[in-house]
A and B are shown apart, each in its own frame.
Chain A
Amino acid sequence: MSSIGTEAGSGSAEICAEHLHKSFGGTVAVSDVSFEVARGEVIGFLGPNGAGKSTVLRMVTGVFPPTSGRATIAGRDVVREAIEARRSLGYLPERTALYADMGVRDYLKFVADMKQIPARDVTRAMSWAMGVSGIEHVAHRLVGNLSKGYRQRVGIAQAVLGEPPVVILDEPTSGLDPEQVSDIRTLIRGLGDDKRTVVLSTHILPEVEMICSRVIILAGGRIRAVDEPRRLERRLRPYKEYAVRVATADDALLARLRGIDHVAEVVLEPGRPAERREAGGDEEAAGAGTRVLLRLEHGFDMRREIAATIVDAGAGLLELQPVVMTLEEIFLKLVGESGGH
């Protein structure tokens, strides 16, 4: 069952996928994928190449129907009520879909007409979309003459044109320079602030960490996790961890640290040569100190006791900080466990 961490099918979500399964011939591309995205939520869709992200998004956007299961957008079934569902959707495909022979304004007018935006609202809708995506000053230019970054922006402008309540962006920052990436991320955050539901598919982990409130991790065509990054960490690591750097660490110090309430484990950081622990007068080694990891039960903050114990033992406290798993570590652990590639 792939609906980890969330219950699909409650009917109140802006996007709802229930047991989506897709096979092409005998090849299973996606299996039993369920998730929900609430209104105003910005959710990250993570997975290695070939994980099935685009296949899931294509089913959700109605590009092709699932082999089994169903998906809804704004409460409309994407297969049986395809037209109604698509009216609530803005989509940026993985390959930015633009007609190079059209001007930016003509292209957006074409999309506006296709989205059946009322004629009296088209000009205002186009101005808003161009403003949000920062392309007003290239509106008169041919799409084919724009840089990749601006083409991506035009793609985003068409996705948000008509202010659809649901926006799905497949790899929106792929191939952009750092400044463009930063601009696009700000734009996506703005969509979330604007109470739009945003699904962001990417393989860039920091991007998800910066923008998204929840992540869906997909590997091998199945969902491995759906949760907030911090809660994922808690699931994957059933303890809290502190890293302590001390000038000298001996067995007596380690024993005293183990004696602190709620401390489950004390370990010297793996890979540290023993002589550095005993370096004493070596200035460089003393500066680096020795790193000790303390693992505690969740729900207890024992930093004050840890610091007091080290100072009392005369070990020379250089540093004390909590250790958090990065999304990258969470992702690798989940994908690794599932045998993803």
Chain B
Amino acid sequence: MRAIRTIARREFGSYFGSPTAYVLLAVYLGLTGYFFYSDVAFFVTFGAQYLPTALWRYVFIDYRLVTLLVMPLVTMRLFAEERKLGTIELLWTLPVRDHQIILGKFLAAWGFFGVLVVLALIPFSVFYWFHPFDLGPPAAGLCGLLLLGTAFIACGLAASTLSENQVVSAMVTYGILVFFWFMTWNEAVGNEALIRVLTLLSLFDHYYSFATGTIQTVDVVYFLFFIFFFLYAGLRSLQSRSWRGVA
């Protein structure tokens, strides 16, 4: 446990040792704030009544986009930088297991994501101050956002084990996530059964119910499976040094 905590603390601290973290925080805060404002303006303009489907749904769907934009840039350095600096070789000779390294880095990225989410909740607080609302539906949306972001982190972490190049790591993450988003879009290519299977696998189809204020077990299970799958893939990728070497 001490090793996981040590790695997580170092990694979390190193985020704030570079200007990249502050740029990402600013972009996330700026974009989520803008989307929240425009969604509220849309809600008021059209005189909508029901917050979960007419406001929170759009807010959390927009937050999804911003999270998709930012998180691969948060995770790209996790292992790619260790490989580039050669520090990964030192970690492998210290009394720590590979899964502890994975978990330490995962927690650090999750901590950073937590900071982003806290910032993204500021507009909610302001809105609540002027116009109190039922907290249940946005809390469900927040759960969905946390699960979605955690899934992005797991995917990005696995991608960052592949190369010492951070751009490669980020692009692989974008590629996988966008694929999981668009996989159900082209209904013409498959029959109904295939589309049903693809919908089961689609990352964002499992997010919509959270966005509208509903938490369904199947969606939670899907996200947990997605997270564990990519963490395990990252672990296996890290262990592949036994046949592909250190470089």
> Could you tell me which A residues sit within 8 Å of B by CB distance?
24-25, 58, 61-65, 82-84, 86-87, 89, 91, 93-102, 110-111, 113-116, 158
B27-41 interface (Cβ within 8 A of A)? none
Closest to B14 in A: A101
CB pair B95 A87 closer than 8 Å: yes
* Interface residue? B49 (CB, 8 A): no
Closest B residue to A93 by beta carbon equals B89
In the complex the two chains form, is A158's CB within 8 Å of B90's CB? Answer: yes
Flag if B3 contacts A62 (CB, 8 Å): no
Q: In the bound complex, do residue A111 and residue B94 qualify as a contact, i.e. CB atoms below 8 Å apart?
A: yes
| Shortest Cβ distance from A112 into B: residue | B6
**CB of B93 closer than 8 Å to a CB of A:** yes
Residues of B1-22 contacting chain A, CB below 8 A: 2-3, 6-7, 10, 14, 17-18
Of the listed stretches B64-72, B119-127, B189-197, B238-246, chain A binds B238-246
A91:B6 contact, CB within 8 angstroms:
no
- B245 to chain A: which residues have CB within 8 Å? 24, 64
In the complex, chain B residues whose CB is within 8 Å of the CB of A86: 93-95
- Interface check B86, CB cutoff 8 A: yes
- List 8 tightest A-B contacts by C-beta distance, closest first: A95-B86, A97-B90, A101-B17, A113-B6, A97-B87, A91-B93, A86-B95, A93-B89
- Cβ-defined contact, A114 with B96, below 8 A: yes
Q: Write 19 A-B pairs (CB below 8 A) sorted by A numbering.
A: A24-B243, A24-B245, A58-B89, A62-B92, A63-B92, A64-B242, A83-B95, A86-B95, A91-B90, A93-B89, A95-B85, A98-B85, A99-B87, A101-B14, A102-B10, A102-B14, A114-B95, A114-B96, A116-B95
Take A24-B244, A65-B242 as given contacts and tell me if A99 and B85 are in contact as well, using a CB distance cutoff of 8 Å. yes
Q: How far is the CA of A24 from the CA of B18 in the complex (A)?
A: 37
Q: Which residues from chain B contact A100 at a C-beta distance below 8 Å?
A: 85
Determine whether the beta carbon of A115 is less than 8 Å from that of B244: no
Residues of B within 8 A of A (CB-CB), count = 27
How close is B105's CB to chain A, nearest CB, in angstroms? 13
Cα distance A93–B91 in the bound complex, in angstroms: 11
Interchain CB contact under 8 A, B90 and A93: yes
Please state if B94 and A114 are interface contacts (CB–CB under 8 Å).
yes
**Who on chain B is nearest to A88 by CB?**
B95
Give the chain B neighbours of A58 by CB distance below 8 A.
89, 246
B87 in contact with A98 (CB, 8 Å): yes
A93 pairs with B86, CB closer than 8 A: yes
With A101-B17, A110-B6, A116-B2 as contacts: A63 and B89 at CB distance below 8 Å: yes
Query: In this complex, which of B2, B90, B93, B241 has the most chain A Cβ atoms within 10 angstroms of its Cβ?
Result: B93
Min CB–CB distance A58 → chain B (angstroms)? 7
Give chain A nearest CB distance to B21 CB in angstroms: 11
A110 touches B10 (CB 8 A): yes
Given A65-B242, A95-B85, A97-B89, 8 additional A-B pairs, CB 8 A: A24-B244, A63-B93, A83-B97, A93-B90, A95-B86, A95-B89, A98-B87, A99-B85
* Contact A64 B241, beta carbon cutoff 8 Å: yes
Contacts of A89 in B (CB 8 A): 93
Closest to B87 in A: A97
- Which residue of B is nearest A78, CB measured? B93
Given the known A-B contacts A96-B86, A158-B90, are A63 and B241 also in contact in the complex, defined by CB atoms under 8 Å?
yes
Q: Tell which of A24, A63, A87, A116 has the most Cβ of chain B within 10 Å.
A: A63
Closest to B84 in A: A95
Give the residues in chain A near B3, CB-CB below 8 Å. 113-114, 116
Task: Return B89 CB to nearest CB of chain A, in Å.
Answer: 5
CB-CB under 8 A from B6, the residues of chain A are 110, 113-114
Rounded to whole Å, the gap between the CB of B20 and the closest CB of chain A is 11
Residue of B nearest to A60 (CB): B93
